[in-house]
Amino acid sequence: MPGPEALLALLISPVLLTVALVLSGPWRLFDSQPPLDLMRELEQRQQDLSCLAASAQARASPSAARRAEVAEPLGCAQLSGLSDVGVVGAGITKLVLRAVLSPGGEEIALKSVHWAGSDVSRCVQRYGHAEGCFQLAAYKLLKETILLQTLDHEGIIKLHGKCYNNSLYPEMKVVSMLELGSPLEMIQLLQLPWEERFKICLDLVELLNYLANSPLGSIALLDFQPRQFVMVNGLLKVTDLDDVSTEELSCKTDQDCILKFPTKTFFLKCASHGNCKEINEKRNLFNAY
């Protein structure tokens, strides 16, 4: 069976990627016991993920629940029928691919853990345990999937399905399947007519309002960059939700709720429940501005 280096080469070659998707082989969770510090990180991520899943289940909007019941989600079986697979991009944690479903011919995006990304690389350098580091990075993808299943807004990328399969090669053990969008290019935006740019601004405002009042509470986009957004049929959508906060900063006094930016400082109130009121909303608004 090819090792991680050979598999990474397959992923870099779009022509051979479909082969990598359908191949299976033996996979043990850990060939060796991870270092204690890595085990602690894994346990903390698992605990955080369990809390998020419980909160999502308890607070999911009725529309999201109905959508989950009606829609027939994609799963692992669809990975074997992909064609025209290519690389869209790669970040510090995830690799994003595009592919065509068969039958039907619909284009979708695939997200998986990026073995060569800095998240996994730094972890391996620190702990020397590739499998544990993969699992640590995979928790981010799982977190994003839970959020996409729970949140229901046209400004959030649509989740078509997911595949969790330990028998697949490491790169494809955890895959989310999403609607495919076009990267947000600032130069192209500046060349659009003002009416289209104004509509995109309205899309962003509506998204921020939803995030401030979501079923999970106020959500902050901690990595608020153009690369976190795509355009789908002329509509602006956020596509990266692994680096978000669904909790507002805890506090004891108003002094704990000072939000500082290079050009602006917000003085917020410490609410009676011990959290900084509207701090996530203010963070999103300033970053969007």
Q: Tokens for 281, please give them.
A: 């909303």
Single out the residue of 118, 86, 89 nearest to residue 100, CA to CA: 86
User: Residue 250 is encoded by which pair of tokens?
Assistant: 């805890």
With beta carbons less than 8 A apart as the criterion, state whether 181 and 232 touch: yes
Give which of 88, 101, 89 is closest to 21, Cα–Cα.
101
d(CA 44, CA 143): 13
Among candidate residues 220, 4, 106, the one with its CA nearest the CA of residue 228: 220
- Catalytic residue, from 84, 119, 203, 223: name it: 223
Residue 182 structure tokens: 């076009």
Contact 207/228 with Cβ under 8 angstroms? Answer: no
Instruction: Name, in order, each residue with C-beta under 8 angstroms of 257's C-beta and a sequence gap of 6 or more.
Output: 249, 251, 267, 268, 269, 270, 276, 277, 279
- Residue 37 falls in the annotated catalytic set: no
Catalytic amino acids?
223
